[in-house]
Amino acid sequence: MGPAPNGHVMGTVPHGEKEVPVIDLSQSEVAAAAQVRAACLGTGFFYVANHGVDEALVENVFQENKDFFTLPEPEKRRILADENNRGYTPMSEETLDAPHQTEGDTKEGLYFGREVLPDSEEAHMPLHGPNQWPAQDALPHYRHVTETYFRAVTALGMRLLRLLALALDLPPEHFHPMFTRPMLFLRPLHYAPRRSHPEQGIFGAGAHSDYGMLTLLKTDEHPGLQIWSGGKFVDVPPRPGTFIVNLGDMLERWTNGRFKSTLHRVVVDGSADRYSIPFFFEPNFDTVVECLPSCCGPDNPARYPPTTSGQHLLDKYAETHAGYSADATPGAAPITLEG
Ligand SMILES: O=C(O)CCC(=O)C(=O)O
Ligand SMILES: [Fe+2]
């Protein structure tokens, strides 16, 4: 087969390239923002290359997590996830798409948030609090490596916020005041080497859309992620050196449905363990989420009532996690809308 006009050798274009473009962050911001806009109007999934996060750090954080998930079960359960969404979630505990699953997701995970000390004035807010770290004698470098990675992906998230704002015809710093006390969750995941059987309702992760604003996902070399596009699930293969970025329900709501939060799932072939690390990047708890000026007008009225970033997330958790209810957290401040 000869080379195709676009430079690819025909027949070797990976699945999903049309649906999930690669955006090079080393080009000008204006050029990158135009590509981000096109991707957000499409599936809301794109890869970013030349993103500035050190590959050696990425390798370290994956290695630390492999070591964590190899620990004996009772050791992992010492830091079971608490009411602030911080800690260990055991294998099969979560079921992301209950109506289509016959058992829980074949994965286990950890949640870390932005560190909020118990005596901080933020500690009364739902989803805010101290992290639970693996024991230092078991994994002496875990916390340092994770916190370093957490800072690196936060910086990348802040860069992406500028591009998103430009893509919405807003000033590049439009979202920055809403990220002074952001809700950030890093979620290292381990998928068991157990073959998914969609027809039997067995999945690595059941189909879902992400709840928040932006997700920055790193995966290992094992495929599994699929997105719903054109009436079918399409593979989003691993691309070394990139992050997969996708939009969540909060941004879809904020943009009045213009930017898309797409359904996705994880289907694994069972030949190996699979590791991935999503990072969920959400605005301050009290940020008002109401139709952005560039997304509604007389011909296009707002489709959703205003909410807040925190309330939106609590409502979403209450839909899918039996243990959550939107107002059940002890000491929760009343959630009010400004203006
Ligand atoms: O592991 C993956 O590739 C995707 C995980 C995911 O979609 C999620 O945790 O929300
Ligand atoms: Fe997801």
22-320: which CATH topology? Jelly Rolls (2.60.120)
For 73, half-sphere exposure in the C-beta direction (CA atoms, 13 angstrom radius) is 3
Per residue in 244-295, pLDDT (tens digit) is: 999 999 999 999 999 999 999 999 999 999 999 999 999 999 999 999 988 9
Helices (H), strands (E): how many in the chain?
Answer: 6, 15
DSSP-derived pairing of the beta strands 45-49 and 22-24: parallel
Rounded Cα–Cα distance for residues 142 and 131 (Å): 13
pLDDT at residue 11 is higher than 50? no
How would you classify the pairing of strands 243-247 and 87-89? unpaired
Tokens of 96: 């992301």
In angstroms, what is the span from residue 47 Cα to ligand 2's centroid?
A: 15
Which residues keep their CB under 5 angstroms from ion ligand 2?
210
| Alpha helices by DSSP H, the chain | 29-41, 55-70, 73-77, 142-167, 249-254, 309-320
What are the b/e assignments for 281-299, b being 16+ CB within 10 Å? bbbbbbbebbbbeebbeee
Q: What distance in Å separates the CA atoms of residue 88 and residue 114, rounded to the nearest whole number?
A: 16
Q: Ligand 1: which residues within 6 Å by Cβ?
A: 187, 189, 205, 210, 217, 219, 224-225, 264, 266, 276, 278
Task: Say how far apart CA 220 and CA 45 lie, in whole Å.
Answer: 18
- Write down the pLDDT at residue 166: 97
Q: Using the mean position of ligand 2's atoms as its centre, give its distance from the Cα of residue 228 in Å.
A: 12
> What's 5-31 look like in SS3?
CCCCECCCCCCCCCCCCEEECCCCHHH
CA of 238 to the centre of ligand 1 (A): 12
| Ligand 1 centroid to residue 278 C-alpha, Å | 6
For ligand 1, atom 5: residue with the closest CA = 278
| ipTM for the predicted complex | 0.99
Residue 1 is predicted with a pLDDT of: 35
Report which bound ligand comes closest to the CA of 188. 1
For 194-252, the pLDDT digits (tens) are 999 999 999 999 999 999 999 999 999 999 999 999 999 999 999 999 999 999 999 99
Q: Where are the domains of the chain?
A: 22-320
